[in-house]
Amino acid sequence: MIKNIEKDKNIFLAEITGMITKEDVESVIPIVEEVLKQYKRMKCLIFLNDVKGYTLEGFLADFNYYLKHKDVFDYVAIVGDKELEKALVELFAKLMPGKAKYFDISELDKAKEWIKEI
């Protein structure tokens, strides 16, 4: 589930919990598109709160959207508490054109500062 979605200029913030479904991804796309329509590029702060994973359809929807729009994400801050999440963000950071950085849950305020300052 994707919840607590906020926009602050070209910054998109969201909390993800449980399983991520295709419907979750599709509910976020119009918000992202609205930001991109105004700013053309964006930053994201994603708070992973007890994420269980993706449904197959959710993963495919998210991955396909990212592949089509990967060049518009300048900075992505991922906040979580699992070593696997950290490892995946480190891998993701090497593959994306912009910058991605992992923050532990205890560093949520630091992640917010990082995403706003750059």
pTM summary value:
0.88
Confidence of residue 61 (pLDDT cuts 50, 70, 90): very high
Separation CA 116–CA 94 (nearest Å): 22
Backbone torsions φ then ψ of 96, nearest 5 degrees:
-95, 150
Answer yes or no: is pLDDT of 118 > 80. Answer: no
- Sign (positive or negative) of CA dihedral 91, 33, 21, 68: negative
Structurally, the chain folds into a number of domains equal to: 1
Mean pLDDT computed over every residue of the chain = 92
Q: Which domain holds residue 60?
A: 2-117
Coil, strand or helix at 39: helix
- CATH number of the domain residue 81 falls in: 3.30.750.24
Confidence of residue 117 (pLDDT cuts 50, 70, 90): confident
Q: What residues contact residue 47 under an 8 Å CB cut-off, 6+ apart?
A: 4, 13, 14, 15, 16, 79, 80, 105, 108
Residue 4's pLDDT is 81
Residue 96's pLDDT is 86
